[in-house]
Chains A and B, each alone.
Chain A
Amino acid sequence: MPKVPIWDLPDVPKGELPPHLELQRTRVLCNLDAPTHTENIQYSGAYASMGVDNSLRLDHFRKNFKVEVIRLTEDDMEFDLIGIDASLANAFRRILISEIPTMAIEKVLIANNTSVVQDEVLSHRLGLIPIKVDPRLFDYMSENDVPNEKNTIVFKLHIRCERGGPRLTVKSDELKWLPNGSEFLLATENSTSNSTLKPKTYTSFRCSQDSLQEFSNNPIAPKHPDIIISKLGPGQEIELEAHAVKGMGKTHAKWSPVATAWYRMLPEVVLLQEVKDEKAVELEKKCRVKVFDIEDVGNGKTRATVARPRACTLCRECIQEEGWDKYVALRRVKDHFIFTIESTGALPPEVLFTEAVKILEDKCEHLITELS
């Protein structure tokens, strides 16, 4: 018998991978014990011996790439990224978490704090309060910059619990925006000598921030008015000024624009064999998230169908029992990402994503210029 390479056999399709390899390339197989084939095969010549080109082609990407928005609320967004590599999706996720700037309180000038919450803890709590303001309108404040209207937002918090009154809960709506900058005077030696000049404060604003048209009818405030900052007993008082500056999530989580951003690969639930009658009922019952439905096929017979694979949380209950893995296969589609962004409120989630794309673009450009 003459030697024939296996891919020259007539029943092996040309220019296409055999089905088991195709499955391994495009799906993560979520077996009972462990997921397999989680990796992406990047090498362009990985399947060259089979006559299949594995290289990434731009036109191919253009043709196949899709974005479908599933849900969009003020702070939440869920959308599908289809036809993209995990590394790219992950890059967006990482940029969302740590590289999109926001404004957050960085400096707190405490004039008086007699509450039970210590100064450092109070400042820390203030820092974590999300502020509803577009960070793109501000500049970063570098080390030797003076705080001005372009890089600093000043809030004031002055609250006092009267003696004899009930206890007070200080919430984030007590933070009052000071568009003209700090009101605390800088202690200088010759403050009396030139009284004609405006007294020096901790910020040097050239103009009021609310004269800028972006803020004139959209005053800056914390995103949520009901975040508890502290509680005050009778006679206690807090008086402070909080300076918010622009920063990135990688320096401190308070600057992260998202509560979290993540993706999951699209679940794919496949019935390997037909699941009929009692078994179908059993399968339907096993799944708490209602992935399966029961379908009437006539003659009083039923069979299970996969109705809502997206709902699968991979609890693996359906394949838990001995032998069920012959009926059901749980898989993940490697190039289909269900992306969720939970914004903290500074920017709407859809803007966040476009910002993330822009940042990645900038990075790429930067890399190209560096290389050339």
Chain B
Amino acid sequence: MGPKEDYAVPLESDVDKQFLAAPVKSVVDKFQLLPEFLKVRGLVKQHLDSFNYFVRTEIKKIVRANDLITSRVDPTIYLRYKDVWIGEPSMTIDGVTEKLSPHKCRLSDITYAAPIYVNIEYITGSHGQKTPPVAKNNVIIGRMPIMLRSCCCVLHGKDGAELARLGECPLDPGGYFIIKGTEKVILIQEQLSKNRIIIDTDKKGCVQASVMSSTEATKSKTVIKMEKEKIYLYLNQFANKVPIMVVMKAMGMESDQEVVQMLGRDPRFGALLLPSIEECASNDVYTQHQALEFLEKKVRKSPFSNSSFEKEGKALGILRDVFIANIPVRQSNFRAKCIYVAVMLRRMMEAILNKDAMDDKDYVGNKRLELSGQLLSLLFEDLFKTMNDEVKKTVDATLAKPSRSSRFDFSQFIVKDSITVGLERTLSTGNWDVKRFKMHRKGMTQVVARLSFIGTLGHMTKISPQFEKSRKVSGPRALQPSQWGMLCPCDTPEGEACGLVKNLALMTHVTTDEEEGPIVSLCYCLGVEDLELLSGEELHTPDSFLIILNGIILGKHRRPQRFANAMRKLRRAGKIGEFVSVFVNEKQHCVYIASDGGRVCRPLVIADKGVSRIKEHHMKELLDGVRCFDDFLREGLIEYLDVNEENNALIALYEGEATFETTHIEIEPFTILGVCAGLIPFPHHNQSPRNTYQCAMGKQAMGNIAYNQLCRMDTLIYLLVYPQRPLLTTRTIELVGYDKLGAGQNATVAVMSYSGYDIEDAIVMNKASLDRGFGRCIVMKKLSAINQKYENNSSDRIIRPQREGHDAERMQILDDDGLAAPGEIIRPNDIYINKQSPIVTRGAIVPPMGLNDKQYKPSRQTYKGPEGETAVVDRVALCSDKNNNLCIKFMIRHTRRPEVGDKFSSRHGQKGVCGTIIQQEDFPFSERGICPDLIMNPHGFPSRMTVGKMIELLGSKAGVSSGKFHYGSAFGEPSGHADRVEAISETLVKHGFSYSGKDFIYSGITGLPLQTYIFMGPIYYQKLKHMVLDKMHARGSGPRVMITRQPTEGRSRNGGLRVGEMERDCLIAYGTSMLIFERLMISSDPFKVQVCRKCGLLGYYNHKLKTSICSTCKNGENVSTMKLPYACKLLFQELQSMNIVPRLKLTEA
């Protein structure tokens, strides 16, 4: 690296110089599309897109839908919202508005938010005299937390140098919020798709069709279930199940024949419906009126409704507004709903007749990902409505007052705080409570993991599941074939959340909502026959397909394939949105068009009859910079396919494999992996769980966090002193910037046995390597102090330290301003802030400088770190917190060199602790004088089958000898993004190594050659955050718990080490009763008690009389002294307090 490119290198500038210099290969190499894709979309594009959509479109929709507040007292008095938009992130303190930058917010614990402006129009005036409507612009109704790098963020569109000036890391992906100084990310929520018919079975095995309806107004779940041959409707608003035929009749389908016709001609369907029809008849329901009466009885009595008042027509109302609410009813025309029910029934019956027609809930196409934008819009809508209600209430209250002194001004009643506080609280706690939709979800936001750069990226792509983690189900946890290319197959945690928590793949895009209107009219133009004009019979004619847009049946089409092709052509031409999916379902005779948000999709190259549309000249133009990714999209060379539409496509992995039927070609196969799995070299040579383990461990690796890592004030930062970029890289590493913010070092590893301290995956390390800086890390912890202001106007003060006297030694590190100085070594019990607090903090107001020294008491803060650790004060930062108190933060830094017990890991899920550290002269050395940095036991290989690690070793070895980086991208061998073992071996041989990577080694102890060739070469090793220094713990005697007098628990409380049940069992079995006695009593909580032999209760020792007395018998005659665990005595007393008498019966020992 030259001195020029120190900081602020933008992500895309030097993606791959080696590659750019290489000639374009004969088969069109489409890899270059990837950096372009990421340049356009960024790594967290799904979050940004979602938020941008919310800020640009959704928020306006919400305000438009609730734009009018009218007074109930005087309906002519109103306030109307004209427009809404989000301003620039800024903060107003004491009337001064200040622009915010994200880094400033992080450092000074404030929220990165922007004001929400509205334009309003309202009536002012009082009592009879009304003025014409007054317009008022730029009214702030609250502050919206801003997602970093979104269109509202100050970082939007800035280049590396500008970002650096703002104190921001250019490689940071953004996509999170800063709430009160902590970075919060809203996890992607996985959910079953809304407004779609899902056919499955319930616990008893009954087939059911369910629809989760979700509209702006209502959310409901409709279930139609077949029970004992009869079909019923389950709806929350009905107290119990309702026969479906009654519902049909209630919606105006009085004729059974019409219902059967709607189901289709197949006699089997009619036969399946027959029991339901009969049941309906047996209930004496024949007309709509009868049906409604029948339903009326079933309506669940809500405890709040005022009895018989509007009971009439309640059932109809439920059918109209709640029952499959996504199908709108216009002018009480229930026909659309009837047809929808018929389609549901038909699909159910198909599923009964043929089990294959059942829907798979785990199928990714049936899932929607809820992103921050959608979640925020839900929240904002609720808060906005609440605010409007509040405004209305106060306005009504003021208007209702008989006499008012001041002029009535509607705009004065808008309260800013409720929205600001609501958004901030929800984002910081992660608890989404939207009362209108009965939504109470917890843990939606998390603090961004800043342990390593990759951990941060991985956190942004994390998908949190809809199920509770405790459920023991295998279905949702299993790898779904439809996840291909959308969700990473490797990256999932181990343990209870295994397979439920997922991560997005590299190229995945999550859609946002798109306007339906134009698509609907387009469909009709393309020959969709309107539903209204079709009879039931015509609905299911054999060769016609239903056209369903976002779960709403539009009509039918006689030539579905042609229709679908026409739609796709329009999409490729850019006439409709690029994310609209058209999916012809041959089995269900349906064409599904989807434009809703939350679908996962990915870009693919379009092929015509197996010939890729991307030609060499396109790629050349891309390399020359005259063409960008969006051009490819616009010209119809690439398109986004969602999971459903993928079913209509035949996708070839490589261009060479395309056949005549192929419709699409993958851009790069390694994009099926996510960010974390992308770091692994040759993952396709590893046993699959190893890749999963590495995905979890890569997030714990220490290294560089961000370019601004030394300016951050996080509570805990782990940094590596000399991080390196891996010798064996992958394309993903270059794309995400891991080569610039690495988390590991290239260690020369010898795979051999050495010294016996390497069993169970332990590694033997070279002391000289550690001396020279291998594995050195810096741990930084934050200490903070607040200079509090009190209600009597007094405040804490920080004073000059005493330089003499008995406290002087503890104040050594303080500067004259009373704060610890940066660069000072801080030891346990050192004072780092010499603070004093006023003794009286409440009551009468005191003048600001009016307190004398006597009225202060010292409230110094001392450092409580582990003994013997030399920590250093790294930085001291002063800022004001939200209450305008002075807040002082100290970063305490500790540099550590690896020691026995520290955890290391390669990139192949092979973790191990350092077993021993050996002098360099005792280490083996090769013919070329190379001495390994660490020795790994070969037993780590056979059972783990991490062949990728071996290839990494070979590749890195070839890399160091030839002086270039080798590649190991997943599945990269055919496309040249991974080096083949043959080629690597050839390079090794060329540089005088054995093709197998095995060297002739001399023992450093005897000086003789070893009797075997040793597999030796560099492997990228990560140092994990688990270090013995943070974990080791032992104590002799120490603190005890107050209530039981037993030793405390846990390292942080300097607790004792427990002799547990199993240890006790061992001691019993061994027969060491005195040892048990000592451990469980003497070393724990021995207590001398006085026991009355007569009554068996505890007495006491009277020190004045020097006798033991039983307080129950009131004498001291039969009292014996004995030892008891204090906890036991406590138990007796607690039992006695509950009126249970425990009596001790003593016998002579």
**A residues with CB within 8 A of B:** 28, 30, 34-36, 38-40, 86-87, 89-91, 93-94, 97-98, 110, 113, 116, 118-121, 124, 128, 167, 169, 231, 249-250, 252-254, 256, 260-265, 288-289, 313-317, 320, 332, 340, 342
**What is the chain A residue whose CB lies nearest that of B872?**
A119
Cα distance, A121 to B710, chains bound together (Å): 14
How many angstroms between the C-alpha atoms of A38 and B90 in the bound complex?
A: 75
B895 neighbours in A (Cβ, 8 Å): 118, 120-121
Across the interface, B920 reaches (CB within 8 A) one of A118, A253, A288, namely A253
Q: What residue of chain B has the Cβ atom nearest to residue A87's Cβ? A: B1007
Q: Which residue of A lies closest to B1001 (CB)?
A: A35
Distance, CA A317 to CA B994, complexed state (A):
7
Q: In the complex, which residue of chain A has the Cβ closest to the Cβ of B897?
A: A124
Contact between A38 and B919, CB atoms less than 8 A apart: no
Task: Please choose the segment from B457-465, B483-491, B623-631, B764-772 that sits at the chain A interface, where 4 or more of its residues have CB less than 8 A away.
Answer: B764-772
CA A86 to CA B1004, docked complex, whole Å: 11
Measured between alpha carbons, how far is A254 from B767 in the docked complex, in Å? 11
Q: How many positions in chain B have a CB within 8 Å of any CB in the partner chain? A: 45
A317:B989 contact, CB within 8 angstroms: yes
Chain B residue at minimum C-beta to C-beta distance from A116: B710
Residues on B with beta carbons closer than 8 Å to the beta carbon of A265: 1009
Q: How far is the CA of A264 from the CA of B885 in the complex (A)?
A: 70
Closest-by-CB residue of B relative to A112 is B823
Given A89-B1007, A90-B1004, A315-B988, 7 more contacts at CB 8 Å? A86-B1006, A87-B1007, A113-B823, A121-B895, A249-B768, A261-B929, A316-B994
Q: Is the CB of A260 within 8 A of B772?
A: no
B823 engages A36 (CB within 8 Å)? no
Q: Write out the residue numbers on chain B whose beta carbons fall within 8 Å of the beta carbon of A314.
A: 927, 994, 999-1000
Task: Give a binary string over B924-941; 1 marks a CB under 8 Å from any A CB, 0 the rest.
Answer: 010111010000000000
Q: How far is the CB of A63 from chain B (nearest CB, A)?
A: 23
The residue on A at minimum CB distance from B1013 is A34
Chain A residues lying within 8 Å of B778, measured Cβ to Cβ, are: 118, 121
Residues of A within 8 A of B202 (CB): none
**Given A260-B929, A262-B925, A288-B989, residue A317 in contact with residue B1008 (CB < 8 A):** no
Inter-chain contacts of B1012 with A (CB < 8 A): 34-35
Tell me the nearest residue of chain A to B767, going by C-beta.
A253
Is B921 a contact of A289 with CB atoms below 8 Å? no
Across the A-B interface, give the 8 residue pairs with the lowest CB-CB distance, nearest first: A90-B1007, A253-B771, A262-B929, A313-B992, A253-B768, A94-B921, A120-B895, A86-B1007
Q: Quick check: is B99 within 8 A (CB to CB) of the other chain?
A: no
Nearest CB in chain A: distance from B926 CB, A:
8
Q: B1008 and A118: CB pair below 8 A? A: no
Docked Cα-Cα span, A167 to B4, in Å, equals: 9
The answer to whether B920 and A128 touch across the interface, beta carbons within 8 angstroms, is: no
A94 to B928 alpha-carbon distance, docked (Å):
16
Kindly list chain A residues whose C-beta atoms are within 8 Å of the C-beta of B771.
252-254
Minimum CB–CB distance from A356 to chain B (whole Å) comes to 12
The interface bits of chain B over 1022-1058 (1 if a CB of A lies within 8 angstroms of the residue's CB, else 0) are 0000000000000000000000000000000000000
Q: When the two chains form the complex, which single residue of B776, B928, B988, B1009 contacts A35, counting CB atoms closer than 8 Å?
A: B1009
B 317-334 binary contact with A (CB < 8 Å = 1; else 0): 000000000000000000
**Can you name 26 A-B pairs with beta carbons within 8 Å?**
A30-B1000, A35-B1009, A35-B1013, A38-B1011, A90-B1006, A93-B921, A94-B1004, A118-B895, A121-B778, A124-B721, A124-B773, A167-B6, A249-B768, A256-B768, A256-B920, A262-B929, A262-B931, A264-B927, A288-B989, A289-B992, A315-B988, A315-B992, A315-B995, A317-B994, A320-B995, A340-B929
**Interface of chain A, helix or strand or loop or mixed?**
mixed
Q: In this assembly, does B413 line the interface, its C-beta being within 8 Å of a C-beta of chain A?
A: no
Q: For residue A332, which residues in chain B have a CB less than 8 angstroms away from its CB?
A: 1009
Residues of A within 8 A of B710 (CB): 116
Q: Taking the complex as formed, is B990 at the interface, i.e. its CB lies under 8 A from any CB of chain A?
A: yes
Identify the closest chain B residue to A38 (Cβ): B1009
Min CB gap B185→A, angstroms: 28
Chain A residues within 8 Å of B994, by CB: 314-317
> In the complex, which residues of chain B have a beta carbon less than 8 angstroms from the beta carbon of A119?
823, 872
Asked if B1100 is at the interface (CB within 8 A of a chain A CB), the reply is: no
Task: Please determine whether B990 and A93 come into contact, CB atoms closer than 8 angstroms.
Answer: no
Query: Beta-carbon contacts of B773-803 to A below 8 Å, as 1s and 0s?
Result: 1001010000000000000000000000000
- Which chain B residue lies CB-closest to A330? B1000
How far apart are the CA atoms of A249 and B1002 in the complex, in Å? 21
Q: Is the CB of A169 within 8 A of B3?
A: yes
- Residues of A near B767 (CB, < 8 A) are 253
**Whole-angstrom CA separation of A34 from B1015 in the bound complex:** 12
Which residue of A is nearest B804, CB measured?
A189
- B830 interface hit (Cβ, 8 Å): no
Asked whether B827 is an interface residue with its Cβ less than 8 Å from the other chain, the reply is no
**A100, B872: Cα distance in complex, Å:** 34
A98/B1007 in contact, CB under 8 A? no
Q: How far is the CA of A134 from the CA of B1062 in the complex (A)?
A: 63
In the complex, the answer to whether B1006 meets A250 with C-beta atoms within 8 Å is no
- Name the distance in Å between A11's Cβ and chain B's nearest Cβ: 32
| B337 close to chain A: CB less than 8 A | no
From B767, B929, B995, B1010, residue with most partner A Cβ within 10 Å: B929
Q: How far is the CB of A48 from chain B (nearest CB, A)?
A: 23
Given contacts A98-B919, A288-B990, A315-B994, contact A167 B3 (CB under 8 A): yes
B675-701 residues at the A interface, CB under 8 angstroms: none
Verify A253–B772 contact, CB threshold 8 A: yes
Question: In the complex the two chains form, is A28's CB within 8 Å of B1009's CB?
Answer: yes
- Cross-interface CB contact of B1006 among A87, A169, A253, cutoff 8 Å: A87
Contact A121 B772 (CB under 8 A): no
Taking a contact as CB atoms closer than 8 A, the residue among B3, B772, B921 that contacts A98 in the complex is: B921
Mask: chain B, 982-998; 1 = CB below 8 Å from A; 0 = not:
00000011111111000
**Which residues of A are found within 8 Å of B991, using beta-carbon distances?**
288
What sequence of 0s and 1s flags, for each residue 836-874 of chain B, a beta carbon within 8 Å of any chain A beta carbon? 000000000000000000000000000000000000101
Nearest B-chain residue to A36, judged by Cβ? B1011
Say yes or no: is B30 at the interface (Cβ < 8 Å to chain A). no
Does B249 interact with chain A (Cβ within 8 Å)? Answer: no
Task: Determine the chain B residues whose CB is within 8 A of the CB of A110 once the complex forms.
Answer: 823
CB of A26 to closest CB in B, whole Å: 13
Cβ-based interface call for B893 (8 A): yes
Residue of A86, A91, A250, A289 near B1008 (CB, 8 A) is: A86
Distance between Cα atoms of A110 and B822 in the complex (Å):
12
Complex contacts, A40 vs chain B, CB 8 Å = 1008
Question: A250 touches which one: B919, B928, B995, B1011 (CB < 8 A)?
Answer: B919
Closest to A168 in B: B3
Closest to A166 in B: B3
Q: How far is the CA of A138 from the CA of B47 in the complex (A)?
A: 65
What is the CA–CA distance of A286 and B771 in the complex, to the nearest angstrom?
41
* Alpha-carbon gap, A90 to B1009, bound state (A): 11
The residue in chain B whose Cβ has the minimal distance to the Cβ of A341 is B929
Expressed in whole angstroms, the Cα–Cα distance for A265 and B1011 within the complex equals 14
A96's nearest neighbour on chain B, judged by CB, is B921
Bound: A210/B126 CA distance, A = 97
Contact: B993 with A315, CB < 8 Å? yes
Contacts known (A119-B872, A264-B927, A317-B995); A38 close to B893, Cβ less than 8 A: no
Contact residues, B912-967 vs A (CB, 8 A): 919-921, 925, 927-929, 931
- How far, in whole Å, are A317 and B993 apart by their CA atoms in the complex? 9
Most buried by A among B999, B1010, B1011: B1011
Measured CA separation A342–B919 after assembly (Å): 19
Contacts of A94 in B (CB 8 A): 921, 1004
